[in-house]
């Protein structure tokens, strides 16, 4: 579950800096000299338009560099071309020593901003989220590093492409529903000591449209949907509750995970195999059947009466990879029933059913 997109409050007082020179192509120029001459950081963008850096921006104190004025930009578009330059803050991030503050390289002021595109440069050394954008935004070709909280935050329906993110206190990339990402490299995350017991992944949320590399295995190098079996267990009445699967995943039907070699098993989110890569085997987990409510002793049909029952006499369908597991009390994993001849009808999965009062993991698949 995502925690705190914006990573803390921004400064109460922000200077509204006059617009800089206009370049030959009509873009508004931002550079160190013009920012300092107009009152210093943070620089507040409150008008729609196309902006371009013409020098590095160096913030010598724990302040944000560029803030986007949400109420004034709501529903409008802003383009910020870093033009190969860097936005550099005063913080550093190493194991156990990420500051976990509120200063952003690029972030919101007074609420969510409009549709923002940031591209082509570097943002590093901020105590909060280095690049923090609202819905319908884009972050492309940006080198992000040394961030006290998340590296990149992109809310709903955004696009995150070809970025390199490293050395962050929490996640590398944190995305809202409907956001897509591709060709990103994320490494050396979860460095902060300020959140004991929380294991932040390199990437959270979003849907991959092409391969990405995460050094903790939380994303796939190839364009494959991820799936996993939960470590938590659920009785039949709770199997399809929202929130059982991680953000960006849902309770899987067999046909969504039928061919495991076409998918990527995510052991960072779910039960891990005993050794080596690949899916966990020998674990019977609840599976969506896709048919009408049923509690019959029929594999592939039984679904605890639409995942509403915890009655010991009602049954729900499970599937398992690799090992045929048997039980007792009417819970046995048998190879006959609605999914008959598993070597033909449901291979490589072995189907079965369990009583609905028996807590089982569930299979989750990426949206």
CB-based contacts of 275, cutoff 8 Å, min separation 6:
none
For 16, other C-beta atoms within 10 Å of its C-beta total 12
73's enclosing H/E stretch is helix 70-73
DSSP state at residue 304:
H
Provide the pLDDT for residue 281.
Answer: 81
Compute mean pLDDT per 10 residues along the chain, 367 residues long, and list them. 36 42 81 93 93 97 93 86 97 87 93 88 97 95 97 96 97 94 95 85 89 85 84 95 88 91 85 79 88 81 93 91 54 44 62 91 92
Provide the pLDDT for residue 20.
Answer: 58
Provide the pLDDT for residue 337.
Answer: 36
- What distance separates the 2 farthest-apart alpha carbons in the chain? 79
Question: Would you state the structure tokens that stand for residue 281, as one six-digit string?
Answer: 């085997």
Provide the pLDDT for residue 74.
Answer: 82
Q: Are 286 and 362 in contact (CB under 8 A)?
A: yes
Distances (CA, A) of 141 to 120, 131, 132, 238, 345: 5, 12, 15, 42, 46
Question: Would you state the structure tokens that stand for residue 239, as one six-digit string?
Answer: 């199997």
CA atoms within 13 A on the CB side of 139: 31
For 134, other C-beta atoms within 10 Å of its C-beta total 25
Provide the pLDDT for residue 346.
Answer: 58
Provide the pLDDT for residue 24.
Answer: 65
Provide the pLDDT for residue 323.
Answer: 55
Provide the pLDDT for residue 234.
Answer: 97
Provide the pLDDT for residue 23.
Answer: 63
Q: Tokens 């578009």 sit at which residue?
A: 77
Q: Sheet containing 43-45: give its strands across.
A: 43-45, 66-69, 106-109, 131-133, 152-154, 173-175, 203-204
């Amino acid at each position: 579950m995502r925690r705190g997109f914006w990573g803390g409050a921004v400064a109460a007082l922000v200077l509204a800096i006059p617009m800089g020179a206009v370049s030959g192509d009509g873009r508004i120029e931002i550079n160190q000299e013009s920012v300092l001459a107009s009152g210093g950081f943070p620089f507040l963008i409150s008008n729609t338009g196309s902006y371009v850096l013409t020098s590095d921006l160096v913030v010598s104190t724990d302040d944000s560099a560029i803030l986007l004025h949400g109420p004034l930009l709501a529903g409008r578009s802003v383009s910020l071309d870093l033009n190969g330059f860097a936005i550099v803050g005063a913080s550093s991030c190493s194991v156990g020593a990420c500051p976990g503050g509120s200063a952003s390289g690029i972030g919101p002021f007074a609420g969510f901003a409009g549709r923002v595109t940031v591209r082509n440069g570097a943002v590093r050394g901020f105590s909060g989220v280095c690049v923090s954008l609202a819905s319908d935004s884009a972050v492309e070709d940006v080198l992000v590093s040394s961030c006290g909280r998340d590296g990149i935050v992109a809310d709903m329906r955004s696009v995150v492409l070809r970025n390199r993110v490293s050395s962050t206190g929490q996640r590398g990339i944190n995305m809202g529903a409907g956001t897509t990402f591709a060709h990103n490299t994320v490494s050396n995350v979860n460095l902060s000591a300020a959140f004991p017991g929380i294991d932040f992944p390199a990437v959270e949320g979003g849907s991959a449209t092409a391969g990405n590399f995460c050094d903790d295995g939380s994303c796939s190098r190839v364009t494959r949907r991820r799936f996993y079996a939960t470590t938590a267990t659920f009785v039949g009445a709770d199997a399809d509750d929202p929130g059982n699967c991680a953000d960006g995943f849902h309770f899987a039907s067999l046909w969504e995970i039928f061919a495991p070699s076409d998918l990527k098993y995510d052991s960072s989110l779910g039960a891990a195999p005993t050794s080596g890569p690949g899916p966990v085997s020998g674990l019977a987990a609840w599976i969506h059947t896709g048919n009408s409510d049923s509690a019959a002793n029929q594999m592939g049909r039984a679904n605890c009466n639409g995942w509403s029952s915890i009655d010991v006499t009602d049954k729900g369908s499970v599937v398992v990879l690799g090992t045929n597991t048997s039980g007792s009390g009417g819970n046995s994993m048998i190879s006959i029933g609605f999914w008959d001849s598993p070597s033909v009808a449901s291979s490589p999965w072995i189907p079965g059913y369990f009583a609905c009062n028996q807590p089982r993991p569930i299979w989750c698949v990426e949206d």
